[in-house]
């Protein structure tokens, strides 16, 4: 444990409250904070937008990728698709398929979180049968055996929590039932659909460990459980089950929307909500410096109100080390309070350690994204 050096101080012209009632001399606020919005922070008031750069030279820069265009994402096995963004704790991939898996799979490296961007399917696993559809998160504990039978083309975002377990966030003073009640979590069932796939046919299990795949063959289908009990299982929650924290007088930080906690990263979900209504409250995401975390946003659906020219299936990547925030048109619209409600759905992954991006990600990068904050 460590004790931060903290001492509340005010200097020059500044607001009394973060994200609200800015001084007229400087409408641009920038938050510099530690530990991803949980540590000490200062709020600067600037005369110019912190994203108002005219040129950028170097690899540390904001990036945008269109994961819809990743050609190598179409495979019959999730272990055959490449990592797109990754570090020692977190591996991000996309997987597209429309045919029934011919084998079972198991991840011995860590928990797997599937976000169903498109499609509808049946998932069969050690715990039973689960119907999955667009907008579902499906958390698969480490070393669970599973397969998916699609009913329509699938586009799945995969977030591996390497060598660790996913947990739910601590909800503090708002209580255990805020954001989503744990009672909404679904688990697989030993139902008739599960029993129907019992079989004495030879079945392969493709097990991934340290990135390598081993194949184990059984003279039967090992998904043959007749029951189970305990508090470890595959669980599902849909973004529509999430009821976001809101404040009409204060723009809440992204950490308020945490859905799952991994080892060295968090997964947050942005869902439709009313926009702050207080006249002095900031109505778009605030400019902030990524001082400790890389930020990844996967855009699922809706109108992404803080971004221009971003479509569903695209990803933005803002590494630690510089300030970023809304694009100029979004900032201006927020000042004018043109929108009263957001309709965006997005998955955010904030990682404590730097992410690397693969050649497959580079092939679908928008090289002009760095200039998208420039006034048109």
Q: What is residue 113's predicted lDDT score, i.e. its pLDDT?
A: 98
Secondary structure (3-state) at 308 = coil
What average pLDDT does the segment 107-117 reach?
Answer: 97
pLDDT tier for residue 25 given thresholds of 50, 70 and 90: low
Domain range 91-239, its CATH number among 3.40.50.1010, 2.60.120.10, 2.40.160.40, 2.70.50.60: 2.60.120.10
CA distance 242 to 169: 13
Residues belonging to the binding site for homogentisate are 324
Which pLDDT does position 306 carry in this prediction? 58
Residue 4's pLDDT is 78
169, two tokens: 């966030």
User: How would residue 36 be classed by pLDDT, with cut points 50, 70 and 90?
Assistant: low
Supply angle C-alpha 327, 35, 238, rounded to 5.
Answer: 65
Render 325-344 in DSSP notation, one character per residue.
---HHHHHHHHHT--SEE--
pLDDT band, very low/low/confident/very high, at 305 (cuts 50, 70, 90) = low
> What's the pTM value of the predicted model, to 2 decimals?
0.91
Average pLDDT over residues 197-218: 97
φ and ψ at 359, to 5 degrees? Answer: -60, -35
Name beta bridge partners: 179. Answer: 243
Instruction: State yes or no: pLDDT of 93 exceeds 90.
Output: yes
What's the CATH code, domain 28-65+240-371? 2.60.120.10
Pairing of strands 128-133, 136-140: unpaired
Instruction: Just list the catalytic residues.
Output: 251
Produce one character per residue of 10-41: b if its CB has 16 or more CB atoms within 10 Å, e if not: eeeebbeebbbebeeebebbbbebeebbeeeb
Handedness of CA 303, 87, 98, 140 (dihedral sign): negative
> Can you give the pLDDT at residue 242?
95
Residue 148 has pLDDT above 70, yes or no: yes
**pLDDT confidence tier of residue 334, bands split at 50, 70 and 90:** low
The average pLDDT across 232-238 equals: 97
Q: State mean pLDDT over 219-226.
A: 98
Residue from 254, 292, 297 nearest 63 by CA: 297
- Domain ranges in the chain are 28-65+240-371, 91-239
Instruction: Please tell me the predicted confidence (pLDDT) of residue 118.
Output: 98
Each as own residue / partner, the long-range contacts of residues 165-171 (CB below 8 Å, 24 or more positions apart, any chain) are: 165/110, 165/111, 165/141, 165/263, 166/111, 166/113, 166/139, 166/260, 166/261, 166/262, 167/260, 167/261, 168/260, 168/261, 169/258, 169/259, 169/260, 169/261, 169/266
Please calculate the CA angle 193-240-36 and round it to the nearest 5 degrees: 115
For residue 192, the model assigns a pLDDT of 98
Q: Nearest Cα to 146, choosing from 96, 202, 95, 107?
A: 107
Whether the Cβ atoms of residue 94 and residue 84 lie closer than 8 Å to each other: yes
CA dihedral 247, 249, 255, 256 (to 10 degrees): -10
Report, as an integer, the average pLDDT of 80-106: 96
Which residues sit opposite 258 in a β-bridge? 268
CA 158 from centre of chain: 10
Same fold, 28-65+240-371 and 91-239: yes
In this predicted structure, what is the pLDDT of residue 286? 75
In this prediction, residue 325 carries a pLDDT of 82
**376 pLDDT band (50/70/90 cuts)?**
low
| Predicted confidence (pLDDT) per residue in 171-184, tens digit | 888 888 989 999 99
Whether pLDDT at 70 is above 70: yes
Is residue 129 exposed (0-12), middle (13-18) or buried (19+ Cβ within 10 Å)? buried
Distance separating alpha carbons of residues 218 and 205, to the nearest angstrom: 8
Distance from C-alpha of 201 to C-alpha of 292, rounded to nearest angstrom? 51
d(CA 244, CA 312): 21
Token output for 224: 């043959």
What pLDDT is stored for residue 235 in this prediction? 98
pLDDT of residue 313: 95
pLDDT at 289: 76
Query: What is residue 277's predicted lDDT score, i.e. its pLDDT?
Result: 84
Residue 299, classed as helix, strand or coil, is: strand
- When the pLDDT of each residue in the chain is averaged and rounded to a whole number, the result is 89
CB 127 within 8 A of CB 187: yes
């Amino acid at each position: 444990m460590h004790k931060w050096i903290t001492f509340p101080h005010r200097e020059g012209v500044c607001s009394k409250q973060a994200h609200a009632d800015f001084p007229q001399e400087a409408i641009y606020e920038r938050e510099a904070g530690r530990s991803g919005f949980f540590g000490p922070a200062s709020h600067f008031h600037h005369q110019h937008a912190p994203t108002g750069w005219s040129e950028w030279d170097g690899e540390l820069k904001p990036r945008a990728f269109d994961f819809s265009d990743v050609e190598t994402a179409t495979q019959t096995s999730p272990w055959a698709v490449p990592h797109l963004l990754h570090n020692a704790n977190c591996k991000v991939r996309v997987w597209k398929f429309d045919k029934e898996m011919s084998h079972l799979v198991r991840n011995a490296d860590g928990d797997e979180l599937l976000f169903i961007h498109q499609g509808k399917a049946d998932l069969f696993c050690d715990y039973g049968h689960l119907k999955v559809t667009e907008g579902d998160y499906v958390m698969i504990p480490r070393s669970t055996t599973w397969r998916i039978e699609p009913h329509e083309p699938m586009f799945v975002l995969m977030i591996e929590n390497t060598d660790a377990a996913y947990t739910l966030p601590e909800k503090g003073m708002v209580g255990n039932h805020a954001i989503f009640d744990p009672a909404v979590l679904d688990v697989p069932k030993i139902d008739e659909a599960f029993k129907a796939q019992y079989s004495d046919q030879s079945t392969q299990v493709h097990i991934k460990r340290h990135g390598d795949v081993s194949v184990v063959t059984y003279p039967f289908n090992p998904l043959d459980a007749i029951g189970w009990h305990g508090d470890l299982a595959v669980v599902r929650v849909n973004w529509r089950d999430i009821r976001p924290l809101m404040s009409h007088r204060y723009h809440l930080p992204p950490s308020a929307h945490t859905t799952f906690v991994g080892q060295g990263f968090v997964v947050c979900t942005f869902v439709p909500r009313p926009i702050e209504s207080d006249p002095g409250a900031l109505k778009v995401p605030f400019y902030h410096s990524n001082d400790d975390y890389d930020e990844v946003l996967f855009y699922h659906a809706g109108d992404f109100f803080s971004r221009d020219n971003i479509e569903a299936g695209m990803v933005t990547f803002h590494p630690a080390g510089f300030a970023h925030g809304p694009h100029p048109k979004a900032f201006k619209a927020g000042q004018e309070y043109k929108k009263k409600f957001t309709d965006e759905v997005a998955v955010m992954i904030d990682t404590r350690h730097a992410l690397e991006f693969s050649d497959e990600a580079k092939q679908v990068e928008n090289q002009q994204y760095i200039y998208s904050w420039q006034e048109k």
